[in-house]
Amino acid sequence: MRLLAKYFLIVLTAVVAFGAVSCSDISDPTKRDGASVLCQLTASQARQSLFLYRTTDIHDEGSSFFYFFPEFQNLRFVPYFIGDATVFITDDHGRRYDFQLRIDSSYGVVAKSYVNVDSFAVQPEASYSLSVRTGDLSIGGRTTLPGDFQIVSPDPGRIYSTTNGELRLDLRWTRSRNAFGYIASVIIGRRILIGSPYRDRYSYIAFDTLYSPASTFRVSSVDTCFVEVLSFDANYYNHKFRGVSNSGVTGAYGYVGSSVLQSTRLRIQ
């Protein structure tokens, strides 16, 4: 292992950490009607989600938001959602997993996505192919998940103490086979839920199995801290952080990526 300060991109907010995307090719005025598919398969999660949006000429009236990332739902994206598609994923053994439209207004906004109908246990290092059919559009995609890994430090069996309102942690994990990189997050107070309030979250992109030997995080009056590490594939990185207009996808903009998530809960006194 080596210190990787020169390789790190500090992500200032959770929205930037998980949603920053810019599709340079889409701004080409010759690129007209089509679709954007956003799909990230994550091992250990029971529900897999996929977002499918209509794209138009960037110069069309009212289309100024069409190419933005819609994983974080907002009412302004609703008119662009394609809700009549046939969506399924197959594994390398030929097993098919159908997806259906899900509409959720639990948090005061209309959130639309496609989710798996039946149990879909995505496995580390397995490959999956996406098929989407809507109107005249035929969209395909493929991803191979990174390998499983473990968080080595901090130790969930230890009780951590703060000094002058600061928590000092050593963030390390084992290598995830075939992973392109990692997102390490320290969540102060309680685990983040999309659409719900949370306390402080610190997120970093790393390209090796540690963030730093000793990082300091500001805390206040909490007794719980969560550490999450997400290993991700190249498709996820290329679209989300490099702004590649399509990665792992044919027939559309967007990406079909994958990740493996590990987390641990710490006690603070």
Alpha-carbon radius of gyration of the chain:
19
Contact residues for 135 (Cβ-Cβ < 8 A; gap 6+): none
d(CA 75, CA 242) in angstroms, rounded, equals 26
pLDDT, position 110 = 75
Q: How far apart are CA 26 and CA 22, in angstroms?
A: 9
Q: Both tokens of residue 138?
A: 């035929």
Which amino acid would we find at residue 136?
D
Strands 215-218, 200-206: parallel, antiparallel or unpaired by DSSP?
unpaired
Tell me the C-alpha distance between 257 and 231, whole Å.
11
User: Which of 102-106, 110-114, 157-161, 221-225 is the least confident region?
Assistant: 221-225
Mean pLDDT of 234-253: 90
Please list, in sequence order, all residues whose beta carbon lies within 8 angstroms of the beta carbon of residue 87, skipping any fewer than 6 positions away. 50, 52, 98, 99, 100, 114, 130, 131, 132, 133
pLDDT at 90: 97
pLDDT range class, residue 42, cuts 50, 70, 90: very high
pLDDT at residue 133, rounded to an integer = 96
CA nearest neighbour of 251 among 17, 15, 21, 52: 52
Q: Per-residue pLDDT for 195 more than 50?
A: no
Taking alpha carbons only, the member of 40, 35, 114, 103 closest to residue 67 is 35
> Has residue 121 got a pLDDT over 60?
yes
**Separation CA 30–CA 58 (nearest Å):** 10
| pLDDT tens, residue by residue, 11-31 | 322 333 333 333 434 333 334
d(CA 136, CA 82): 13
Q: Using CB atoms within 10 Å of the CB of residue 126, give its burial: 0 to 12 exposed, 13 to 18 middle, 19+ buried.
A: middle
Task: Tell me the average pLDDT of the chain.
Answer: 75
In three state form, how does the secondary structure of 236-259 look? HHHHHCCCCCEECEECCEEEEEEE
* pLDDT given at position 43: 95
Q: What is the pLDDT of residue 76?
A: 62
**Has this prediction a pTM greater than 0.85?**
no
Centre a 10 Å sphere on the Cβ of residue 205 and count the other Cβ atoms it contains.
21
